[in-house]
């Protein structure tokens, strides 16, 4: 057989390889200074507590913990999530990762050519999923002026309508966005929800970092502003451990029902044992206790990174000041190409993610995303010194 | 918001709710005699060995067991699967359940209207997935006469070509098929592979029950007959435990690469901790030792079910004699409607799956699938007596 005679589906033509995952194929993360990826620090995984909880789950549930289970998720976890976030249990679908939440929302809502609005830049994994369904992605830059921010959206929506196309949803990460680290104000959230009502589209609110706040006060979710129009996606990856691949979707039951039927044919149900472990960890209060430790740890790393950038970065480099989350976004002088610079950096032993990949419109060549959760303070220190030195040489 | 204004994607119009999963929503499986579902017996889950292995995984891998991991699966599990099935590791993709394997194969190969050939009847979860991508499913009945069997396929393929359509793949469960319990002979497998070569389509070989053989000898996989043209899907659900939601796909690296990129946006990677547990269980030999016990248990249940049917079923009822797997297929007299009969049975406390749901052409109204793995021998005995009594009343 000549394998090249295989005719793949049209979707495959729009598949886009994650540059982040390609980096992981090239290098061992532990052998370099890695500001790439969005990995939590392994020291936030409470190994002994997890070991004890696993044993308790086996005692409590026996074989049921290893059997097939409900497509919506096991009742114990759905109820723990519902009670934590104050929503009715029939509005909770457990997902096999919040990436799956993004993917399945796109699957049930988007036909090829349909428009998805998002921030510019936006989360790479979401862009991958949107592209894979051949969505027409329109990225809209943030603007600190609320009227100008609204106008940016209104202009794009008017343009979309003029083209005879349909906006299916707006995808946003309102809290400590990936990649920028920035959050939307309450006024901005309200403005976007009112736009969604006015032009009758849905909002997919992706919220994996929300509980990792290091300063300031929590801002209402977009879901709480309009629980029928907003689909809220949550994740255990950053507040517990990503290796469990568990998240949740909160939505109007009629929307959730489509997600549920889709999930039947996607993978039948989320991992069962892992769900019971997460449910026990959540309802026992261990998750919150551990989360407080993670917040303290990450706050220290963020503060360290901010002070190191201040100390070492050459003139002409700017960066965001995230109040939470895992990332900070660097803007280099106009003309700098962070994709081209990447091999230089990797050869020297330091990795980041080029900002261009997060920009649906292909802009952002002079930007890069830095993660501060994964490495130890010592390695963050050494890594930033190295990166700053390389950038100084490249810019001058 | 009027939620009914939400415009779902065109795919959603073809979503098909699993009648099996709907049953599970209606009744507690343990409160009735359930011959429905494809659940392994919970007593085959080696709880104490799993507990010990989990603890070993935490000792051995530490935080790595709870971190993100490679999209292809963790190397330890890929290597264990590669070595068990004698294939190069670059041909192994770990999937988050073999249902995901089916779904992702369809996603990367099928455009709406493309033809998928399969047996009539065939696995419901696969039909769900195929329909959700708006595939044109053609079910072809088995025929014990090899020439007639081939002609059945040739006729359908000629018809598909006359319609200007494309056969993308043939989906088969050659070993102890779901729902029929029957297997393809080596000659039949060779014939189907040669048809695929002749007409240039792929074969998706779904093989979750292969290792549960209670008599006779193993027959070569279709994958081994043409590893470039056949995508082989395996599952840990029936040989270890379904609650881990782990399976694998074996395929030509160029095909696997598309599956890999698709999986990046589907869910990033399979559950990590679960993969390490499966890898340890497999490479330590515990999986095989446990599998031997499962085989002995299920053989006893199959033999019991066959003798009970012989003893209690009214005249005019026929059934298959599976050499392995979890299912047996019952054919009732012409005119019997097992969908209509379903409420009567459930009210009396016994569940099965109506055969019609497995038939892509809508036939098979007088058939039903019986599972023999889930219940205890005592409950199988009571359940069959009850079902036979109900059927006797309905038929006469």
Cβ contact B254–A69 (<8 Å):
no
Q: Would you state the pLDDT for residue A25? A: 72
Percent of chain A predicted with pLDDT > 70? 99
Which CATH number belongs to the domain containing residue B363 in this structure? 3.90.1150.10
Cβ contact A51–B50 (<8 Å):
no
Instruction: List C-alpha distances in Å: B34 to B28, B31, B350, B352, B382.
Output: 9, 9, 6, 6, 11
Q: How far apart (Å, rounded) are the C-alpha atoms in residues B192 and B219? A: 14
Cβ contact B97–A267 (<8 Å):
yes
A residues 247-266 closer than 8 Å to B (CB):
252, 254-255, 258, 261-262, 264-266
Tell me: do A170 and A132 sit in the same domain. Answer: yes
Tell me: do B256 and B147 sit in the same domain. Answer: yes
A275 is written with which tokens? 């769900």
* Any domain includes B62: no
- The answer, for B83 touching chain A at a CB cutoff of 8 Å, is no
Computed from CA positions of residues A189, A195, A198, A200, in that sequence, does the dihedral angle turn out positive or negative?
negative
* Any domain includes B221: yes
Tell me: do B357 and B251 sit in the same domain. Answer: no
Contact yes or no for B45/A63 (Cβ under 8 A)? yes
Residues in chain B with CB shorter than 8 Å from the CB of A107 are 9, 11
Q: Would you state the pLDDT for residue A4? A: 55
- The answer, for A76 touching chain B at a CB cutoff of 8 Å, is no
Q: What is the rounded radius of gyration, in angstroms, for the C-alpha atoms of chain B?
A: 21
ipTM strictly over 0.85? yes
Nearest to residue B243, comparing CAs of A268, A275, A273? A273
Residues in chain A with CB shorter than 8 Å from the CB of B99 are 265-268
Instruction: List C-alpha distances in Å: A313 to A341, A343, B159, B219.
Output: 16, 20, 68, 65
Mean pLDDT lowest among A79-83, A293-297, B20-24, B106-110: B20-24
Question: Averaged over B333-359, what is the pLDDT?
Answer: 95
Half-sphere exposure of B105 (CA within 13 A, CB side): 32
pLDDT at B268 over 60: yes
- Which of A15, A99, A197 minimises the CB distance to B267? A99
Nearest CA in chain B to A65: B243
Half-sphere exposure of A154 (CA within 13 A, CB side): 9
* Any domain includes A60: no
Residues in chain A with CB shorter than 8 Å from the CB of B45 are 63, 66-67
Tell me: do B169 and B306 sit in the same domain. Answer: no
Render pLDDT for A206-231 as a digit per residue (tens, 0 to 9).
Answer: 999 999 999 999 999 999 999 999 99
- Which of B111, B226, B273 minimises the CB distance to A10? B111
- The answer, for B3 touching chain A at a CB cutoff of 8 Å, is yes
Residues in chain B with CB shorter than 8 Å from the CB of A51 are 54-55, 58
B residues 135-194 closer than 8 Å to A (CB):
166, 168
Question: Averaged over B207-231, what is the pLDDT?
Answer: 98
Q: How far apart (Å, rounded) are the C-alpha atoms in residues B77 and B40? A: 22
pLDDT at B359 over 80: yes
Tell me: do A80 and A222 sit in the same domain. Answer: yes
Residues in chain A with CB shorter than 8 Å from the CB of B26 are none
- The answer, for B40 touching chain A at a CB cutoff of 8 Å, is yes
- The answer, for A14 touching chain B at a CB cutoff of 8 Å, is no
Cβ contact A63–B71 (<8 Å):
no
Residue, of A298 and A396, whose pLDDT is higher = A298
Domain boundary among A269, A286, A303: A286
Contact yes or no for A242/B68 (Cβ under 8 A)? yes
A120 is written with which tokens? 């510019």
Tell me: do B213 and B224 sit in the same domain. Answer: yes
Contact yes or no for B205/B221 (Cβ under 8 A)? yes
Tell me: do A77 and A41 sit in the same domain. Answer: no
Q: Would you state the pLDDT for residue B86? A: 97
Work out the minimum CA distance from A31 to partner chain B, whole angstroms: 15
- Which of A15, A24, A100 minimises the CB distance to B70? A24
Render pLDDT for A328-357 as a digit per residue (tens, 0 to 9).
Answer: 999 999 999 999 999 999 999 999 999 999
Tell me: do A156 and A277 sit in the same domain. Answer: yes
Work out the minimum CA distance from A333 to partner chain B, whole angstroms: 32
Domain boundary among B227, B250, B285: B285
Cβ contact A63–B50 (<8 Å):
no
Work out the minimum CA distance from A67 to partner chain B, whole angstroms: 5
Test mutation, B134, B245, B254, B274, chain A, max A CBs within 10 A: B245
Average pLDDT over chain B, rounded to an integer: 96
- Which of B45, B237, B245 minimises the CB distance to A63? B45
Work out the minimum CA distance from A107 to partner chain B, whole angstroms: 7
B18 pLDDT band, cuts 50/70/90, is: confident
A3 pLDDT band, cuts 50/70/90, is: low
Work out the minimum CA distance from B266 to partner chain A, whole angstroms: 5
Tell me: do A278 and A303 sit in the same domain. Answer: no
B1 pLDDT band, cuts 50/70/90, is: low
- The answer, for A269 touching chain B at a CB cutoff of 8 Å, is yes
- The answer, for A125 touching chain B at a CB cutoff of 8 Å, is yes
- The answer, for B268 touching chain A at a CB cutoff of 8 Å, is yes
Tell me: do A129 and A257 sit in the same domain. Answer: yes
Cβ contact A244–B43 (<8 Å):
no
Cβ contact B9–A39 (<8 Å):
no
A36 is written with which tokens? 């790439």
Tell me: do A280 and A225 sit in the same domain. Answer: yes
Q: Would you state the pLDDT for residue A30? A: 79
* Any domain includes B215: yes
B136 pLDDT band, cuts 50/70/90, is: very high
B residues 228-247 closer than 8 Å to A (CB):
228-229, 237, 241-245
Nearest to residue A69, comparing CAs of A246, A254, A209? A246
- The answer, for A17 touching chain B at a CB cutoff of 8 Å, is yes
Work out the minimum CA distance from A166 to partner chain B, whole angstroms: 10
- In sequence order, what are the beta bridge partners of B234? B248
Q: Would you state the pLDDT for residue A90? A: 97
Residues in chain B with CB shorter than 8 Å from the CB of A236 are none
* Any domain includes A61: no
The contacts of residue A48 (CB under 8 Å, 6+ apart) are none
Nearest to residue A104, comparing CAs of A263, A331, A327? A263
pLDDT at A83 over 70: yes
- The answer, for A111 touching chain B at a CB cutoff of 8 Å, is yes
Test mutation, B36, B47, B268, chain A, max A CBs within 10 A: B268
* Any domain includes A117: yes
The CA-CA-CA angle for residues A299, A87, A107, to 5°, reads 85
The residue segments making up the domain with residue A249 are 66-286
Secondary structure E strands in B73-173: 92-95, 115-119, 136-140, 167-172
- The answer, for B109 touching chain A at a CB cutoff of 8 Å, is yes
Render pLDDT for A15-69 as a digit per residue (tens, 0 to 9).
Answer: 988 887 777 777 777 789 999 989 999 999 999 999 999 999 999 999 999 999 9
Percent of chain B predicted with pLDDT > 90? 93
Test mutation, A230, A245, A257, A270, chain B, max B CBs within 10 A: A245
Residue, of A247 and B395, whose pLDDT is higher = A247
Cβ contact A9–B109 (<8 Å):
yes
Residues in chain B with CB shorter than 8 Å from the CB of A128 are 264-265
Residues in chain B with CB shorter than 8 Å from the CB of A55 are 51, 55
B265 is written with which tokens? 């946006």
Residues in chain A with CB shorter than 8 Å from the CB of B273 are 243-244, 274
Work out the minimum CA distance from A313 to partner chain B, whole angstroms: 30
Render pLDDT for A162-189 as a digit per residue (tens, 0 to 9).
Answer: 999 999 999 999 999 999 999 999 999 9
Cβ contact A71–B21 (<8 Å):
yes
The contacts of residue B132 (CB under 8 Å, 6+ apart) are A262, A265, B11, B14, B15, B16
- The answer, for A69 touching chain B at a CB cutoff of 8 Å, is yes
Q: How far apart (Å, rounded) are the C-alpha atoms in residues B137 and B366? A: 21
Residues in chain A with CB shorter than 8 Å from the CB of B40 are 67
- Which of B15, B25, B252 minimises the CB distance to A262? B15
Tell me: do A310 and A172 sit in the same domain. Answer: no
- The answer, for B65 touching chain A at a CB cutoff of 8 Å, is yes
Q: pTM to 2 decimals?
A: 0.97
Q: Would you state the pLDDT for residue A1? A: 53
Render pLDDT for A186-203 as a digit per residue (tens, 0 to 9).
Answer: 999 999 999 999 999 999
Contact yes or no for B314/B396 (Cβ under 8 A)? yes
Which CATH number belongs to the domain containing residue A280 in this structure? 3.40.640.10
* Any domain includes B51: no
Q: Would you state the pLDDT for residue B3? A: 60
Cβ contact B243–A69 (<8 Å):
yes
Domain boundary among A286, A301, A333: A286
Total domains present in chain B: 2
Contact yes or no for B274/B244 (Cβ under 8 A)? yes
* Any domain includes A373: yes
Cβ contact A1–B51 (<8 Å):
no
pLDDT at A154 over 60: yes
């Amino acid at each position: 057989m000549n394998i090249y005679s295989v005719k793949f589906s049209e979707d495959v033509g729009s598949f886009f390889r994650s540059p982040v995952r390609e980096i992981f194929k090239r290098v061992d993360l532990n052998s370099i200074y890695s500001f790439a990826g969005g990995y939590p620090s392994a020291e936030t995984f409470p190994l002994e507590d997890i070991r004890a909880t696993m044993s308790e789950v086996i005692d409590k549930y026996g074989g049921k913990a290893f059997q097939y289970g409900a497509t919506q998720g096991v009742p114990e976890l759905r109820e723990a999530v519902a009670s934590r976030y104050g929503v009715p249990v029939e509005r909770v679908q457990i997902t096999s990762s919040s990436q799956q939440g993004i993917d399945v929302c796109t699957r049930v809502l988007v036909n090829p050519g349909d428009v998805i609005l998002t921030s510019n830049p936006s989360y790479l994994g979401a862009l991958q999923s949107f592209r894979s369904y051949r969505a027409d992605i329109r990225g809209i830059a943030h603007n600190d002026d609320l009227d100008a921010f609204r106008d940016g959206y209104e202009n794009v929506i008017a343009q979309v309508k003029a083209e005879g196309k349909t906006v299916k949803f707006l995808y946003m990460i309102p809290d400590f966005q990936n990649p920028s680290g920035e959050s939307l104000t309450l006024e901005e959230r309200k403005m976007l929800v009112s736009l969604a009502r006015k032009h009758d589209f849905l909002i997919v609110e992706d919220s994996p970092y929300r509980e990792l706040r290091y300063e300031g006060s929590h801002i209402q979710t977009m879901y709480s502003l309009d629980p029928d129009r907003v689909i809220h996606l949550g994740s255990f990856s950053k507040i517990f451990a990503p290796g469990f691949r568990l998240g949740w979707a909160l939505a109007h039951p009629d929307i959730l029902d489509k997600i549920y039927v889709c999930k039947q044919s996607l993978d039948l149900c989320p991992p069962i044992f892992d769900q019971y472990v997460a449910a026990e960890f959540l309802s026992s209060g261990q998750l919150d206790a551990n989360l407080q430790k993670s917040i303290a740890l990450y706050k220290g790393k963020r503060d360290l990174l901010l002070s190191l950038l201040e100390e070492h970065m050459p003139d002409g480099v700017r960066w965001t000041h995230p109040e939470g989350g895992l990332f900070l976004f660097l803007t280099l002088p106009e003309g700098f190409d962070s994709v081209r610079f990447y091999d230089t950096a990797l050869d020297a032993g330091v990795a980041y993610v080029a900002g261009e990949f997060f920009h649906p419109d292909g802009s952002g060549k002079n930007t890069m995303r830095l993660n501060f959760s994964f490495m130890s303070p010592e390695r963050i220190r050494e890594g930033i010194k190295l990166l700053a030195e390389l950038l100084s040489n490249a810019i001058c």
